[in-house]
């Protein structure tokens, strides 16, 4: 591990006042939970609204008329078709056709794309993007902005009190909105499977705004622990666990992120390798897995067939508070990836019966 001192987000003092249990994450000192605990924070998010500090993530903008075309060289998503006010999930690719990072890209209008990348990857992603830009397209990091996620069925009611127009935003909509007098960039998206918003706010105004949100009766703070259990129940990948520089989008079951036109053109970095895996078929696939009992299976747990042959590995696993049961995702041999396939998870040396299960484990409740 790095010996460098941990960085803090603009909400650091607030986390400490709220009694957050701080842990190192991607080089930042972050709250894994508050005194309510992960279970309560998770269930509250599904019932009402939870506020997450995700300011550790990398925010940046690409400026210039050629920004979308330039980004298309690096990602398989259709960036040219991304309309102003819309956001899309896509992947940065390696020349080997594996995943450098996953990210959100929004068309902010006025020849500007707004990007949010993973905290652990921003120092890789952003230089990589910068190195591939043509003349006339520039990349600017937003180190002076915090990022808050307000997630849950009550998020729309809460945020509408600050600006009525956010209620009309569609899922994966994006807008510049004044909230409590602060210029914010708001997307209707998140990482929990719930309706909600991610709000980019100037660092100097972040704490005050977060406290305003927390003062709303529906809102409770939630830490990285609940964020992880929520995204796992929602079947969403965590970079570094479920996808990384060894996984191809085909085996990661992320081909839905590749635009139709992009699959005709195959002109992004790593496209040849992705295309080859699609043509030849992957040897393994990312699937959802539910253990039969109550014992969770964590990341790196081996997956075996009844005869003991190792056929894969769990990449994310834990207990799903909304399922009141354990759930996991991982990679298995392709012939064992069908829903309902019975497998064993090798937990503490013993086979734990489990089966392949469609994801999300907990239904998405995005606004339509």
Partner 1 sequence: MSAVRFTEDHEWIRMEDGVAVIGITVHAQEALGDVVFVELPEPGREVTEGEAVAVVESVKAASDVYAPIAGRITETNSAIADEPGLVNADAEGSAWFFKIIPADPAAIDALMDTAAYAKFIESH
Contact positions toward partner 1, by CB under 8 A?
32-33, 37-40, 42, 225, 228-229, 294-296, 298, 318-319, 321, 326, 348
The Cα–Cα gap between 134 and 81 comes to 20
Taking the least distance from each CB to partner 1, the nearer of 163 and 295 is 295
User: Residue 131 corresponds to which tokens in the numbers above?
Assistant: 């190195």
Smallest distance, Å, CB 333 to partner 1? Answer: 26
Taking the least distance from each CB to partner 1, the nearer of 36 and 106 is 36
Smallest distance, Å, CB 349 to partner 1? Answer: 12
Smallest distance, Å, CB 32 to partner 1? Answer: 7
Taking the least distance from each CB to partner 1, the nearer of 82 and 224 is 224
The Cα–Cα gap between 54 and 149 comes to 7
Smallest distance, Å, CB 294 to partner 1? Answer: 5
Q: Considering only CA atoms, which of 230, 259, 244 is closest in space to residue 88?
A: 259
Taking the least distance from each CB to partner 1, the nearer of 32 and 124 is 32
Smallest distance, Å, CB 228 to partner 1? Answer: 8
Residue 328: burial class (beta carbons within 10 Å; 0-12, 13-18, 19+):
buried
Taking the least distance from each CB to partner 1, the nearer of 10 and 321 is 321
Asked whether the beta carbons of 113 and 185 are under 8 A apart, the reply is no
Q: In which residue are the tokens 């305003």 written?
A: 212
Intra-chain end-to-end CA distance of the chain, in Å? 43
Between the alpha carbon of residue 191 and those of residues 106, 195, 226, 263, 274, the distances in Å are: 16, 10, 11, 27, 26
The Cα–Cα gap between 126 and 61 comes to 10
Taking the least distance from each CB to partner 1, the nearer of 20 and 77 is 20
User: Residue 145 corresponds to which tokens in the numbers above?
Assistant: 């902005």
For residue 286, what are the β-bridge partners? 331
The Cα–Cα gap between 181 and 32 comes to 30
Smallest distance, Å, CB 1 to partner 1? Answer: 17
Taking the least distance from each CB to partner 1, the nearer of 229 and 357 is 229
Taking the least distance from each CB to partner 1, the nearer of 33 and 187 is 33
Smallest distance, Å, CB 327 to partner 1? Answer: 12
User: Residue 201 corresponds to which tokens in the numbers above?
Assistant: 């706010």
Asked whether the beta carbons of 126 and 139 are under 8 A apart, the reply is yes
Smallest distance, Å, CB 252 to partner 1? Answer: 24
For residue 123, what are the β-bridge partners? none
Rg (CA), the chain: 20
């Amino acid at each position: 591990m790095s010996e460098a001192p941990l960085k803090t987000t603009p909400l650091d003092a607030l986390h400490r006042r709220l009694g957050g249990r701080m842990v190192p994450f991607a080089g930042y000192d972050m709250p894994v939970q508050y005194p309510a605990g992960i279970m309560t924070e998770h269930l509250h998010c599904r019932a009402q609204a939870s506020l997450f500090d995700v300011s550790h993530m990398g925010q940046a903008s690409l400026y210039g008329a050629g920004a979308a075309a330039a980004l298309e060289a690096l990602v398989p998503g259709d960036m040219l078709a991304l309309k102003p006010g819309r956001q899309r999930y896509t992947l940065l690719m390696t020349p080997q056709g594996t995943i450098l990072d996953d990210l959100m890209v929004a068309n902010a209008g006025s020849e500007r794309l707004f990007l949010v990348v993973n905290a652990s990857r921003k120092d890789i992603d952003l230089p990589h993007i910068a190195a591939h830009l043509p003349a006339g397209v520039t990349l600017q990091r937003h180190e002076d902005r915090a990022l808050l996620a307000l997630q849950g069925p009550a998020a729309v009611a809460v945020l509408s009190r600050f600006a009525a127009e956010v209620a009309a935003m569609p899922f994966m909509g994006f807008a510049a909105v004044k909230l409590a007098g602060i210029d914010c960039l708001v997307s209707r998206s998140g990482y929990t499977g719930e309706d909600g918003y991610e709000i980019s706010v100037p660092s100097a105004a972040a704490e005050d705004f977060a406290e305003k949100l927390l003062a709303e009766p529906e809102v409770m703070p939630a830490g990285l622990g609940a964020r992880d259990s929520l995204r796992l129940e929602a079947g969403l990948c965590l970079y570094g666990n479920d996808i990384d520089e060894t996984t191809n989008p085909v085996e990661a079951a992320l081909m839905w992120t590749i635009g139709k036109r992009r699959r005709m053109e195959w002109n992004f970095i790593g496209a040849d390798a992705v295309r080859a895996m699609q043509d030849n078929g992957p040897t393994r696939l990312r699937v959802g897995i539910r253990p039969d009992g109550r014992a969770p299976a964590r990341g790196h747990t081996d997956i075996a067939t009844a005869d003991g042959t190792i056929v894969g590995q769990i990449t994310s696993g834990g207990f799903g508070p909304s399922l009141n049961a354990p759930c996991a995702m991982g990679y298995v041999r392709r012939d064992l990836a069908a829903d309902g396939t019975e497998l064993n998870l090798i937990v503490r040396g013993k086979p734990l019966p489990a089966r392949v299960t469609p994801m999300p484990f907990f239904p998405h409740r995005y606004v339509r």
